[in-house]
Amino acid sequence: MSGGTYLGMPAFPEAARAATRDERLRGNLRHATHTIRDKRARAVAELPDWAELRAAGAAIKDRTLRHLDGYLERLEEAVTAAGGQVHWAADAAQANEIVTRLVLRTGEREVVKVKSMATQELGLNAALERAGVRAYETDLAELIVQLGDDLPSHILVPAIHRNRREIRDIFAERMGDWGRPAPEGLTDEPADLAEAARLHLRQKFLDAKVGISGANFMVAETGTMVVVESEGNGRMCLTLPETLISVVGIEKVVPTWRDLEVFLQLLPRSSTAERMNPYTSMWTGTSDGDGPSTFHLVLVDNGRTDTLADEVGRQALRCIRCSACLNVCPVYERAGGHAYGSAYPGPIGAILTPQLRGVDTALDASLPYASSLCGACYEVCPVAIDIPEVLVRLRERVVEGGEATVGGTRVRIRPARGHAAERAAMRAARWALDHPGALRAGQRVAGRMRRLQPRRLPGPGAAWSRTRDVPPLPPESFRSWWRRTRGESGEAGR
């Protein structure tokens, strides 16, 4: 019932080629990404201090990551003091086992879920299903994906690959199997489809005894959890059930209450291009007579500490999952989300997945090549993750092997076979990074890299580089702005 699986998916170039041939998928994606992209630019332009907010966002996240152990301990203390229970999971199996046990202990066999990329990453729904527990996804898009026995393809609009006609058919055919059927004569008007979802899910919310969520932020100082959403299904899952289980990656912690002032400005404008999303819920432990009487927080590692161990790759953990990088990525636009083979599509997936899972499989090893290094993702990223820099680092790991941390242990990765053609390109790219002059030239990293690379990428990159269409670089990049205004010593500068 949790839909398809990412396991056994073909490597990026194969999957991307298939998606590129799918005209309708490409059309939907192009329309969607361009629409959000333009709206985002307008929402960001409203704030004259965007660059400073972005710098502060990056700096807060870097500071948190540098002292993650201390902040996690503080968070645990604060959540516990407020009446919550904190659990720790080193990997997906442990996390799923903990959640399953907590659900079974309530005696319930159904749970309502609010969209959470972490639980998607963990494969939680499938694990619950094996234990006889049905997990109902309650985001409209997740519902479409779940009813369609499908996989999400975009962080923010997971059903971006489905058009209204298909959604109508999925609702009409499948809702009845899951609960209240779709109304007779359902049309494909978005308002009608939303109404059908409202009616279908209302019963689930009113009956639910257990809710499962992720969180966008966790405040170490106060133990406060934050969930940002649009539809109200989050509020339903967070307030109506008796038991709430939040499953959250350890990198979602921020040090102080005040830090939210930065992220609550960065996130809505970057993701849905709104000044503020319709609903944000914040809760601290449990409150008497209001909301769940039992609150569990499951803190998940599952490769995050391996990512943290790499001084360059670490910055991927700053990600606040806004999806802005997807919407500007020429590769994503052509390849679609499924080609990335994980819960994390697009540029962020290309740097996060190979770090969370390692580069052992052909799919994961090919992800760092799923980019033209054009740098557009970096320019829009609200926490200034230098995605091209991490991609280069990971390509190096794939091609030349070297030290990495896998499952908490330091290992030496052997060079991947069959990538000999990349070696030349890698050497050239490394040259640029090894020469401070090239870096100081500011955003020219991306520009230079493009010149230093063959026009058409060899090997796995070839599939998309044929249709490559690189957006122009802005006149002054964040990096050059940062260097110009902060000098060389900025904490978040790299």
Partner 1 sequence: MNAREVVLGRVRRALADVPRGEEPEREPLERGYLESHQPADPVELLAENLADYRALVHRATAGELPGLVARLLAERGASSVVVPAGLPPGWLAEVPDEVRRVADEEAATARLLDGVDSVVTGCAVAIAETGTVVLDAGPDQGRRRITLVPDHHVCVVAVPERVVDSVPLALRRLDPSRPLTWISGPSATSDIELDRVEGVHGPRRLDVVLLGA
Which one-letter amino acid corresponds to residue 186? L
Q: How many residues bind partner 1 (CB under 8 A)?
A: 95
Euclidean distance between CA atoms 55 and 479, whole angstroms:
10
- Which of 94, 293, 294, 480 forms a contact with partner 1 (CB under 8 A)? 94
Angle between helical axes of 387-400 and 346-357 (0-180°, round to 10)? 40
Euclidean distance between CA atoms 13 and 293, whole angstroms:
48
Please measure the distance between the N-terminal and C-terminal CA atoms of the chain and give it in whole angstroms: 42
Segment near ligand SF4 (CB under 6 A); pick from 189-197, 368-376, 381-389, 457-465: 381-389
The nearest distance, CB 107 to ligand SF4, in angstroms, is 38
**Closer Cβ to ligand SF4, 323 or 355, answer by number:** 323
Residues 126-155 that bind partner 1 (CB under 8 A): 138-141, 144
Segment near partner 1 (CB under 8 A); pick from 15-23, 232-240, 386-394, 445-453: 232-240
The nearest distance, CB 356 to partner 1, in angstroms, is 13
User: Residue 23 burial by CB count (10 A; 0-12/13-18/19+): exposed, middle or buried?
Assistant: exposed
Euclidean distance between CA atoms 35 and 483, whole angstroms:
32
**Chain-centroid distance, C-alpha 436:** 31
The nearest distance, CB 2 to ligand SF4, in angstroms, is 23
The nearest distance, CB 319 to ligand SF4, in angstroms, is 3
Residues 383-412 that bind ligand SF4 (CB under 6 A): 383, 385
**Closer Cβ to ligand SF4, 128 or 266, answer by number:** 266
| Sign of torsion over alpha carbons 94, 99, 100, 106 | positive
- Which of 10, 232, 401, 458 forms a contact with partner 1 (CB under 8 A)? 232
The nearest distance, CB 281 to partner 1, in angstroms, is 6
The nearest distance, CB 182 to partner 1, in angstroms, is 14
Distances (CA, A) of 449 to 349, 401, 403, 439, 478: 21, 21, 24, 11, 17
Tokens matching residue 359: 């580069």
Segment near partner 1 (CB under 8 A); pick from 62-70, 121-129, 173-181, 345-353: 62-70
Residues 6+ apart with CB under 8 A from 407: 91, 306
Binding mask 204-223 for partner 1 (x = CB under 8 A): -xx------------x--x-
Q: Give yes or no for residue 382 binding ligand SF4 (CB under 6 A).
A: yes
Binding mask 321-360 for ligand SF4 (x = CB under 6 A): xxxxx----------------------x------------
Residues 6+ apart with CB under 8 A from 297: 79, 84, 85, 86, 87, 218, 225, 246, 248
- With CB under 5 to 8 Å by kind, the binding choice for 191 among ligand SF4, partner 1, none is partner 1
- Residue in the block written with tokens 């400073």: 52
Q: Give yes or no for residue 481 binding partner 1 (CB under 8 A).
A: no
Q: Give yes or no for residue 425 binding ligand SF4 (CB under 6 A).
A: no
Q: Give yes or no for residue 230 binding partner 1 (CB under 8 A).
A: yes
Residues 245-284 that bind partner 1 (CB under 8 A): 250, 255, 257-258, 260-262, 264-265, 268, 272, 274-284
The nearest distance, CB 186 to partner 1, in angstroms, is 13
CA geometry: angle at 251 spanning 247 and 257, to 5°? 90
Give the DSSP per-residue string, 438-462: HHHTTTHHHHHHHHHS-SS--GGGH
Binding mask 306-345 for partner 1 (x = CB under 8 A): x-xx-x----------------------------------
The nearest distance, CB 326 to ligand SF4, in angstroms, is 7
Euclidean distance between CA atoms 461 and 463, whole angstroms:
6
Strand partners, 135: 111
The nearest distance, CB 239 to partner 1, in angstroms, is 5
Tokens matching residue 230: 């649009």
Q: Give yes or no for residue 28 binding partner 1 (CB under 8 A).
A: yes
Q: Give yes or no for residue 90 binding partner 1 (CB under 8 A).
A: yes
**Closer Cβ to ligand SF4, 319 or 432, answer by number:** 319
Q: Give yes or no for residue 243 binding partner 1 (CB under 8 A).
A: no
Q: Give yes or no for residue 178 binding partner 1 (CB under 8 A).
A: no
Number of H helices and E strands in the chain, helices first, is 24, 12
The nearest distance, CB 420 to partner 1, in angstroms, is 31
**Closer Cβ to partner 1, 233 or 372, answer by number:** 233
Tokens matching residue 8: 């056994």
**Closer Cβ to ligand SF4, 325 or 373, answer by number:** 325
Euclidean distance between CA atoms 463 and 370, whole angstroms:
9
Euclidean distance between CA atoms 400 and 10, whole angstroms:
23
User: Residue 51 burial by CB count (10 A; 0-12/13-18/19+): exposed, middle or buried?
Assistant: middle
- Which of 160, 196, 381, 446 forms a contact with ligand SF4 (CB under 6 A)? 381
Binding mask 294-323 for ligand SF4 (x = CB under 6 A): -------------------------xxxxx
Euclidean distance between CA atoms 83 and 293, whole angstroms:
9
DSSP 294: E
- Contact between 429 and 449 under an 8 Å Cβ cutoff? The reply is yes
Q: Which residues in this chain contact ligand SF4 in the complex, by CB under 6 A?
A: 270, 319-325, 348, 380-383, 385
